[in-house]
Structure 1
Amino acid sequence: MLLSSLFLGIAAASLSPARAAADDCGDAAALVQLAYPGAQKSADERSFTLEPHTSISLTLR
């Protein structure tokens, strides 16, 4: 039981958003475009606008 809890803790830590690389946003943009073919990329290419006027920011804050 303790070993499985330890393994889950290590796995969760390795999935931390703090470990995201700068080029990960390109992958996220491709996924958004696959999931929402009608998504319109903003002029500054930092967000998408979805119907009905919902935006998803591509930057980490």
Structure 2
Amino acid sequence: MMIHHTASSGSLASVELRYDGRTGLPGPPCHSAGTKDGLIYAVGQGRANHAGPGIPSSSQR
């Protein structure tokens, strides 16, 4: 599980950001979004832009 910090204006804005994405990062950036009141929303299935492109493993350098 990866926890994303949104620094958004509230729970609904956070869920919308997780569903729609943002400029330069199409949605969804994750599969679920949690709110401060403990609700979990499913916002994506299939491919998601979780933690960016990552780095090559040391064996590929």
Fold conserved (TM > 0.5)?
no
User: Whose helix fraction is larger, Structure 1's or Structure 2's?
Assistant: 1
**Which protein has greater RCO, CA pairs closer than 8 Å, 6+ apart?**
2
TM-score normalised to structure 2 length: 0.27
Q: Computing the radius of gyration over CA atoms, which structure comes out larger, 1 or 2? A: 1
